[in-house]
């Protein structure tokens, strides 16, 4: 049955397309041409080892959620399939679902009129737990999540972070070997984010040896948590490796990070320049073998743009992402 016991998740050539909005509402109308399709997932191959914490990193719209939904049998791929803990998601979706715990984004995925405990009791029954088993499991989960005091209150009275803790508890209710966590820290306060990240890494991955796919668009989160990262862009995986090896793909050792008010033209300085802007401040990351050599050039080229700060840093996964996908390249045509 289990052909590759060391692999908990194997995806083979997964393609998932959607129709652009407003087309052929009730399945009638002219035939759909390929350019009217969105290739949300465009031929993804993936293997995740047992016990691995695997990151799917990519910007909004990269196709992370769609891929996770395909793996969890919520969506039917147009092409390809996946094997989860030895079960084919297309031939035996029920067996695959038995092995998966999943958190999909959004706060509305729980019953707001029911208490945290009642929510978990309901899902426990769907996963086949007897009521004694469910009680034991729920008490344990509520305890490690620090929700014991609030477990009899309705979800509508919970904060976003508490709801996310209940969602994660629900994913764990049947103690599945595989977890699919879609943006688990999205929109959370820093203290909740910190708790959830450390829970995923220390408890779920290191102690309980769960196989985890975690999607995120936070570069730091992927960097800190994941054993391996797949960088995803426009439905494709453009690179898979450990964070260290990925960062080494950028040949330079040093990055000069320059924060400016307004725009400056740093093209031609150093090896390459990446720009991004946050709340009116433009951040240039200039890669060079030795940043000291380029300092004076940078100050000259800044002209009218007011330099707020300069920092010497190491390449980050963000630089790797830009390097691989070509998105947001150089000062002028920075897409913000």
Partner 1 sequence: MDLFPSTSRILRYLRGMNAENVKEWKIELTYRADFIRGMLEPLIFVFPFVLFAMSLMGGRTSSVLEGLTGVSDGITYTIIGYIFMGFLNTAVWGMGFALRKEQWYGTLESIFVAPVPRWVYVLGMALHSTVHQGIILFFQILVVYVLFGVILNVQGVLPVLVFIALMLISLVGLGLMVSGLALIFKEGWIVSEVLYSLITIVTPIAYPLAVLPPLLQKISLTMPTTYAITGIRHFLIDENMGVGLLDSYSRLIIIGVCWIITGLLIFQIVDRKVRREGTLAEY
Ligand X SMILES: Nc1ncnc2c1ncn2[C@@H]1O[C@H](COP(=O)(O)OP(=O)(O)O)[C@@H](O)[C@H]1O
Footprint on this chain of ligand X (rule: CB under 6 A): 18, 38, 40, 58, 60-66
Do 246 and 231 form a contact (C-beta atoms < 8 A)?
yes
Q: Which of Mg ion, partner 1, ligand X, none has residue 159 at its interface (CB below 5 to 8 Å by kind)?
A: none
- Least spacing, CB of residue 187 vs Mg ion, in Å: 12
- Applying the rule CB under 5 A, the residues between 55 and 74 that interact with Mg ion are 65
Residue nearest to Mg ion (CB): 65
Q: Which is nearer to ligand X, 4 or 32 (CB)?
A: 32
Q: Determine the Cα–Cα distance for residues 304 and 306; give it in Å rounded to an integer.
A: 6
Q: Which of partner 1, Mg ion, ligand X, none has residue 61 at its interface (CB below 5 to 8 Å by kind)?
A: ligand X
Q: Which is nearer to Mg ion, 65 or 169 (CB)?
A: 65
Q: Which of partner 1, Mg ion, ligand X, none has residue 72 at its interface (CB below 5 to 8 Å by kind)?
A: partner 1
Q: Which is nearer to partner 1, 150 or 174 (CB)?
A: 174
Q: Determine the Cα–Cα distance for residues 217 and 60; give it in Å rounded to an integer.
A: 7
> First-to-last CA distance in the chain?
49
Mapped onto helix, strand or coil, the DSSP state of residue 191 is helix
How far is residue 93 CA from its own chain's centroid?
A: 23
Q: Which is nearer to Mg ion, 68 or 294 (CB)?
A: 68
Residues 6 or more apart whose Cβ sits within 8 Å of residue 164: 103, 107, 184, 185, 188, 192, 196
Do 287 and 272 form a contact (C-beta atoms < 8 A)?
yes
- Least spacing, CB of residue 305 vs partner 1, in Å: 44
Encoded one letter per residue, x for contact with Mg ion by CB under 5 A and - for no contact, window 249-278 reads ------------------------------
Mapped onto helix, strand or coil, the DSSP state of residue 307 is strand
Closest CA to 324 of 223, 246, 220, 219: 246
The answer to whether residue 185 forms part of the interface with Mg ion (CB under 5 A) is no
Supply angle C-alpha 175, 181, 184, rounded to 5.
120
Q: Which of ligand X, Mg ion, partner 1, none has residue 197 at its interface (CB below 5 to 8 Å by kind)?
A: none
- Least spacing, CB of residue 122 vs ligand X, in Å: 26
Q: Which of ligand X, partner 1, Mg ion, none has residue 38 at its interface (CB below 5 to 8 Å by kind)?
A: ligand X
């Amino acid at each position: 049955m289990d052909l590759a016991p060391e692999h908990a998740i194997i995806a083979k050539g997964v393609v998932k397309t959607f129709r652009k909005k407003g087309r052929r509402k009730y399945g009638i109308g002219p035939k759909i041409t390929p350019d009217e399709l969105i290739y949300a997932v465009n031929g993804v191959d993936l293997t995740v080892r047992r016990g691995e914490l695997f990151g799917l990193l990519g910007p909004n719209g990269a196709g992370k959620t769609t891929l996770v939904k395909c793996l969890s049998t919520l969506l039917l791929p147009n092409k390809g399939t996946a094997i989860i803990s030895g079960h084919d998601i297309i031939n035996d979706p029920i067996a695959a679902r038995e092995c998966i715990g999943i958190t999909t984004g959004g706060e509305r995925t729980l019953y707001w009129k029911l208490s945290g405990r009642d929510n978990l009791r309901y899902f426990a029954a769907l996963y086949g737990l007897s009521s004694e088993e469910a009680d034991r499991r729920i008490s344990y989960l509520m305890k490690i999540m620090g929700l014991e005091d609030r477990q009899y209150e309705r979800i509508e009275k919970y904060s976003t972070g508490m709801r996310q803790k209940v969602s994660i508890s629900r994913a764990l209710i049947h103690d599945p070997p595989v977890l699919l966590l879609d943006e688990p820290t999205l929109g959370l306060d820093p203290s909740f984010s910190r708790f959830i990240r450390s829970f995923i890494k220390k408890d779920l991955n290191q102690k309980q040896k769960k196989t985890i796919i975690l999607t995120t668009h936070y570069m730091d989160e992927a960097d800190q948590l994941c054993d391996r990262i797949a960088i995803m862009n426009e439905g494709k995986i453009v690179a898979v490796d450990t964070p260290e090896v990925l960062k080494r793909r950028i040949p330079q050792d040093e990055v000069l990070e320059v924060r400016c008010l307004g725009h400056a033209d740093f093209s031609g300085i150093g090896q390459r320049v990446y720009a991004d802007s946050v709340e009116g401040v433009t951040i240039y990351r200039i890669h060079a073998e030795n940043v000291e050599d380029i300092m004076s050039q940078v100050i000259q080229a800044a002209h009218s743009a007011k330099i707020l700060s300069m920092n010497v840093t190491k390449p980050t996964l963000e630089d790797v992402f830009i390097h691989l996908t070509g998105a947001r390249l150089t000062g002028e045509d920075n897409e913000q």
